[in-house]
Structure 1
Amino acid sequence: MSKLNIDQKTVKELFSAKKTKFLIPDYQRPYAWGEDECQTLWEDLFNFSFPENNCDNFDSESDEYFLGPIVTFKNDKGDMEIIDGQQRLTTLMLLLRAFYDKFKNMKDDKSEKTREQIEACIWKTDEFGYVNTEELKINSEVATDKDKDEFLEILRTGDVTKGKSSYAKNYKFFQDKIKEFTEEYVSYTPLLPLRIMQNCILLPIEAESQDTALRIFSTLNDRGKPLSDADIFKAQFYKYYSDKGEKESFIEKWKALEVLCNSIFPSSSGSALDEIFTRYMYYERAKQGIKQTTTEALRKFYERDGYKLLKNDETFENLIDLANFWNDIYDQNVERFSEDVLKRLYVLNYAPNGMWTYFVSVYYIANRDAEGMLDDNEFYNFLSKITAFIWAYAVTNPGVNALRTPLYPEMINVVNKQPVKFEEFLFSPEQLENKFRNFDFKNQRPITKSMLTWWAFQEPEQECLPLEKTIEIEHIYPRNRQKIEQGLTNPNNMESLGNKSILEKKINIRASDYRFSDKIKYYQGFTTNKGKKEGTAIKELINLSKSVTDFSETDIGQRETKIILEFIEYLKDNGLLKN
């Protein structure tokens, strides 16, 4: 069990302890507090120290103000690496330095005593208590913070005449606030910093390792953004490129990669950069011949052998290249991909799970040429085969993680330049047809929209749709019609694949409650006094609306049979059926 040292301390006790040396490590994010946060902190501290604007309402023996936890661990050099509390500690240091600047030339006893206490919080002292103004109690190595040296210089000298960083702006903010305060409360000037140092409480939580500290932070902090795996990886790259004398170049490339990933990957949790590391991990797993379906945590994978993978140029360049590849996919770049390939990629975007993105990432890294291009015909065939397999497997083996078993060996085949065959997982046509006919294609199941998207794009004339356009599931024979007329002898046919199609959201909203004869104008488009209403881009629905005036239960059954049999034929064309 991990050991923790937890001991509530005042700002003075924590900051002025002789052995205290805080380190903001290289993997942390840059300082982000602005004037709003500083204003809130100042108001909170002032209202606590001077209740109701009255100095005498404060009880120095019992009043306390809790500033929050500070999560750290002691690194190999004995420094306390800050995992949680970076923004708070940094701002408190700037505030104390601004107070010190105010008191440094005051000669009265109270001001001198206050100044001495502040000094001990900012700088190291020797065994006699003398301050060494060259050795600060805090240091920053944040890889992507170009202003960290300015922060340290402010603490050393108090000079911000040329500073434009957040550190300088916040320091000036506190200087202005302190000036206003001292002008209004002349005789009580030393009391505010003293009450901040002696009565404001922090909860330092010292973990025995970085991993433990990160877990504690994730558990405690539901408001801040926890450090991602990519933040840790950045630190390893930073050290590697710094040793090569390429620090600035790395920082520039990393920032560009971060911007790119944030633009293409959703990041509801963690970091968008984690996604590109995950996709690349599957390529490295495949190179190592790993078939195990239990996928280890991202950080555990990359930290093997002292983060060996992150200590070479190839990995970083591959990550950048892979991110650009996915950016071109999501941008539907016609200069990189043919129309046919883009259609296959569009369909895969509606796959029942995200495993396809890992498989395609492996394929790309393993098969790209020197210019980062793929053979268009071979890529098209690969996309067709994995679409056929993933769709069929989702119906026959609907478990969330079931796809790992057949895909991992094929990833290994890809990196070894062997064809993708899924030889041990071929489908029986009869069993598959039976599965499809008895499968409940509810709208909530991802495979339902997957199948309908695949079917829509079996129409040769179907054009590729923009990925940002929202599509929904349309009931060609409307639900409301069944409620009113009871026209279907088998109500289950309402949810049959034969009665469903993809349709743009705006058109689906307008057409959902109408008879088929009334839907025709919405499918084809029509003109009103306010202008033209565009029809659907789904060619099958357009063609259907031009060939019939009604859509019956018989049509539902015939269309379902057609979809299922053509999908089985699609599997056959891709070599995925048993002989």
Structure 2
Amino acid sequence: MAATIEVNKQSVKQLLETGKKQKFVIPEYQRSYAWTDEQIQILFDDLVEYTENDNENTYFLGTIVAYENDQGEQEIIDGQQRITSLFLLLRAFYTKLESMVETPESKNFKSQIETALWEQDELTAVVDYKKTLIVSRVMGDEGNKIFTNILTTGRANPKAKDNYSINYNLFLELIETYAASQPEQFYYLIRNVLSRAILLPITADSQDTALTIFSTLNDRGLALSDADIFKAKMYNHKDKAARIQFIEDWQHLDEEANNANESIQTLFYYYMFYLRALDGDRKTTTPGLRKYYSRNNFEKLYKDDVMDKLNAILNLWILINNRIEIEGEEWYKNIEIKQVMDSLTSYPNEYWKYPVVTYYLKYRKENNFEVDFLNFLKKLFAILAARYIVTPTLNAVKGGILNLNTEVIKSSNPKFEFAKIDEQELKDKIKKAHRNTVRMILKVLAYQHQDNLLPEKWEIEHILPQKWQSNYFSSSTDEEVKELVEHIGNKVPFEKKLNITASNGYFKKKQESYNKSHIKLIIELSRNNNEWGLDKIHERDVRTADEIFQLFSEWGLNQINVNEKGKNLIVIPDESLNKYHEYIEIFDLEDNNENRKDFLNKINPK
């Protein structure tokens, strides 16, 4: 069924009066009222300028996107800042009019404003000042009560620091000043705000449609996130006693996520892949976040452990992104785990994150977690890195990752369903590494020499500089040198500050800077070489490719898996068919008898 949308240009008065039949609601998931005094000043100045120019055209204030919720209210998706400010402005006008000697003009405009701000008796038009036509339900915001109190009483604490009070008091001040200096224009200003300032309300048939419209129209970078919707759903599902704690927990999660360069939105995204793995979902099509969680009336958000799981995921990213230890996460003291994780962060897309999160959530409380997690990370890195080096596309790993997620749920030593990598092809691709894989390769290479993490700020150093004198290599063409300069054999990780000092000098000139480095790989390279030329690049190309392939093989590339019963799962390639035959070896892992050795030598010769 196609979505329906109503768009009707209306004056401020016409729009606000619709609140008599369908009250305006600022929903829980919206952000707090955030307009500053500067924005209030600009709005007021624009309206004054429009009035004093005696402009016959209308003044456009913008759009309001809303939909009718289950309670028959107008739930505002976009325009909450604007419509809230207009309510405050009209209340300030009304307060000023009340203080003036009554005239036909003041009486007229008081009457018009009353119909826009409060409920009235249908027969007598008597105003009920306690029943406003708008209510804010923003989660955990004390300003909700302040806003209602201002509209009800017309007063705000002059020393208050909230935006409602500050902006309302500013409106009072601006109106008072304008009415005193321009008494004849004052009533025209009120008229223009009520009748000539135009809004474009867009009314959608559902929340989804309204959010889609908002995302399309919004260009201020403040679009509602799916997490805002989830927050409101979770908040409303809790009893009143639990809501206060939930607000505190959510705010803490939000702050800590930002500190870790993540967001609650991304935490929900990672959590989705864990939930999909639990459900055995191997589909390569990733559903939209809100679409996924809204299934069965958002039931997945109402589980008791959702916040615990989100906090656990956040802890993982605090460890990875901020490199700080967290109480209770003793495994993070393992330098090998840190190094593999740091290498993974340079993997060219984020698909590696999903099985890591899934594995961590599933097994983090197990006794053997540290050992098992390290082995898992090594194998994951070896397989993903090798596949991307050979085929630098997302599709090279996408299907395998979704399968792996589900396999992780089954076993702490999961089955990796990825095609075999050809040794020579991988080595050739390492030598001429794609630009997206260079940092990843250099990291894992450096960590075979390093007993700590690399500095956070380092750059790719070209040992032979990218700019050289043409006569420096008389036996090679510029094209040949240019190609070799970009080979992996000519690149090392190097601290940014030292790299600036080293500049584009030749090897001997740069050795002094190299020797100041804290990266052992570059120190060893400096101490073991007196000069650097094209032959050295060729040599290091071969050595690096061999070292990386050997390391990946040790970590699990093209190697056997271990099934849940503790037996070896042997994967035997059939080169003619480019397929794999799987056999379950009958010998125990700890069994070193001659029969086992003969069997292994036959099917997996060195």
State the TM-score, normalizing by the size of structure 2: 0.86
Residue 383 of structure 2 contacts residue 556 of structure 2 at CA under 8 Å; is this kept in 1?
Answer: no
Q: Name which of structure 1's ranges 202-211 and 126-135 shifts more when overlaid on structure 2.
A: 126-135
Residue 28 of structure 1 contacts residue 142 of structure 1 at CA under 8 Å; is this kept in 2?
Answer: yes
Aligned AA for 1:214?
L
1:31 aligns with 2:18: no
1:21 aligns with 2:15: no
Residue 475 of structure 1 contacts residue 499 of structure 1 at CA under 8 Å; is this kept in 2?
Answer: yes
CA distance 1:294–1:148, change in 2 (3 Å):
same
- Whole-angstrom distance in 2 between the partners of 1:254 and 1:76: 26
- Whole-angstrom distance in 2 between the partners of 1:202 and 1:49: 17
1:441 aligns with 2:410: no
Structure 1 residue aligned with 2:454 = 465
Alignment of 1:538-553 (within 5 A): 538-553=519-534
- Whole-angstrom distance in 1 between the partners of 2:206 and 2:500: 54
Structure 2 residue aligned with 1:196 = 193
Residue 441 of structure 1: how far off its partner (Å): 2.4
Residue 454 of structure 1: how far off its partner (Å): 1.2
Percent of aligned positions that are identical: 36
3-state SS, counterpart of residue 190 of structure 1: helix
3-state SS, counterpart of residue 394 of structure 2: coil
- Whole-angstrom distance in 1 between the partners of 2:104 and 2:471: 90
State the Cα deviation string for residues 294-333 of structure 1 (Å, max 9, x = none): 1111111111111011112211221122212311222223
- Whole-angstrom distance in 1 between the partners of 2:47 and 2:22: 24
Residue 401 of structure 1: how far off its partner (Å): 3.8
Residue 352 of structure 1 contacts residue 391 of structure 1 at CA under 8 Å; is this kept in 2?
Answer: no
State the Cα deviation string for residues 405-429 of structure 1 (Å, max 9, x = none): 1111111121222413424433332
Structure 2 residue aligned with 1:168 = 165
Structure 2 residue aligned with 1:454 = 444
- Whole-angstrom distance in 1 between the partners of 2:207 and 2:224: 11
Residue 123 of structure 1 contacts residue 135 of structure 1 at CA under 8 Å; is this kept in 2?
Answer: yes
Residue 112 of structure 1: how far off its partner (Å): 0.9
Residue 488 of structure 1 contacts residue 553 of structure 1 at CA under 8 Å; is this kept in 2?
Answer: no
Residue 479 of structure 1: how far off its partner (Å): 1.9
Structure 2 residue aligned with 1:6 = 7
Structure 2 residue aligned with 1:345 = 341
- Whole-angstrom distance in 2 between the partners of 1:323 and 1:90: 35
1:240 aligns with 2:237: yes
Structure 2 residue aligned with 1:407 = 401
Residue 372 of structure 2 contacts residue 412 of structure 2 at CA under 8 Å; is this kept in 1?
Answer: no
- Whole-angstrom distance in 1 between the partners of 2:502 and 2:520: 16
- Whole-angstrom distance in 1 between the partners of 2:278 and 2:503: 50
Residue 41 of structure 1: how far off its partner (Å): 0.9
Structure 2 residue aligned with 1:77 = 71
Structure 2 residue aligned with 1:184 = 181
3-state SS, counterpart of residue 425 of structure 1: coil
Residue 72 of structure 1 contacts residue 80 of structure 1 at CA under 8 Å; is this kept in 2?
Answer: yes
1:134 aligns with 2:123: no
Match of residue 355, structure 2, among 359, 368, 391: 359
Aligned AA for 2:306?
T
Alignment of 1:282-297 (within 5 A): 282-297=273-288
Unaligned runs of 5+ in 2: 560-603
- Whole-angstrom distance in 2 between the partners of 1:341 and 1:289: 27
Unaligned runs of 5+ in 1: 52-57, 267-271, 525-534
- Whole-angstrom distance in 1 between the partners of 2:340 and 2:347: 11
Residue 72 of structure 1 contacts residue 206 of structure 1 at CA under 8 Å; is this kept in 2?
Answer: yes
3-state SS, counterpart of residue 265 of structure 1: coil
State the TM-score, normalizing by the size of structure 1: 0.90
CA distance 1:64–1:423, change in 2 (3 Å):
closer
Residue 404 of structure 1: how far off its partner (Å): 1.7
1:216 aligns with 2:213: yes
User: Between Structure 1 and Structure 2, how many residues are aligned?
Assistant: 546
- Whole-angstrom distance in 2 between the partners of 1:230 and 1:281: 12
- Whole-angstrom distance in 1 between the partners of 2:475 and 2:508: 17
Structure 2 residue aligned with 1:532 = none
- What is the Cα-based RMSD across aligned positions, in Å? 2.0
- Whole-angstrom distance in 2 between the partners of 1:176 and 1:297: 47
Residue 110 of structure 1: how far off its partner (Å): 0.9
Structure 2 residue aligned with 1:321 = 312
Residue 537 of structure 1: how far off its partner (Å): 2.1
3-state SS, counterpart of residue 67 of structure 2: strand
1:110 aligns with 2:105: yes
Residue 549 of structure 1: how far off its partner (Å): 1.5
Residue 352 of structure 2 contacts residue 401 of structure 2 at CA under 8 Å; is this kept in 1?
Answer: no
Residue 30 of structure 1 contacts residue 144 of structure 1 at CA under 8 Å; is this kept in 2?
Answer: no
- Whole-angstrom distance in 2 between the partners of 1:472 and 1:216: 43
